[in-house]
A and B are shown apart, each in its own frame.
Chain A
Amino acid sequence: MVVRGVRHSLVFPADIVRPVMADDQTPRPAGEPDDYPSGAGQGWTALSYLIGGMLVWGFIGWLVDQWLDTGGVATGIGFVLGMAGGVILVIRRLGTPT
């Protein structure tokens, strides 16, 4: 389409946004590979991996501490390992672009 001598595309950027009308929606197929929860779900998942990782491996480290009586070192190592694991999980699960 040519407007005042300038060629314009008929596809406006706003049309790329998914249509809002209920009937017009093409529902997202459940079961795409790498189909993870969007938006709020991802945020809470990321946070729960981080905190969960720290808690789980910190707890295991604390148990090792009580067993071997190392006085806090094992708990610290557990926290750091758990945090590393949490970060790896976030990167693997949520960080791979579709």
Chain B
Amino acid sequence: MDYVAAVEGSTAAIGYGLAAIGPGIGVGLVFAAYIQSTARQPESSRMTLPYVWIGFAVIEALALFGIAFGFIWAG
């Protein structure tokens, strides 16, 4: 069958690149919220810090899935 156009390379790389957009924005939002809340009320920083790590962990989980499955599905 004759191909008119073709793209070579790894679709896993494209997939990971797309998958990194969401968590990137998400983690940015979490830390932006923390910085804003600390700026408004500095005494609350120690109280809200645990929630920063919860949010970071859950969001980063997806980004790390992206890179792990990028390798698994690259075959």
Contacts and interface: CB of A to CB of B under 8 A. Distances in A.
The answer to whether A and B touch in the complex, with CB atoms under 8 Å apart, is yes
A84 to B, nearest CB: 8
Interface residues of B, number: 19
Interface residues of A, number: 27
Contacts of A75: 72
B53 A79 contact: no
A46 B57 contact: yes
Q: Determine chain A's interface SS by DSSP, over half rule.
A: helix
B72 A46 contact: no
Contacts of A16: 42-43
A89 to B, nearest CB: 8
Interface of A: 13, 16-17, 42-43, 46-47, 49-51, 54, 58, 72, 75-76, 79-80, 83, 86-87, 90-91, 94-98
26 contacts: A13-B42, A16-B42, A16-B43, A42-B53, A43-B53, A46-B53, A46-B56, A47-B60, A50-B57, A50-B60, A50-B64, A51-B64, A54-B64, A54-B68, A79-B68, A80-B65, A83-B64, A87-B57, A90-B54, A94-B50, A95-B50, A95-B51, A95-B53, A98-B46, A98-B47, A98-B50
Interface of B: 42-43, 46-47, 49-51, 53-54, 56-58, 60-61, 64-65, 68-69, 72
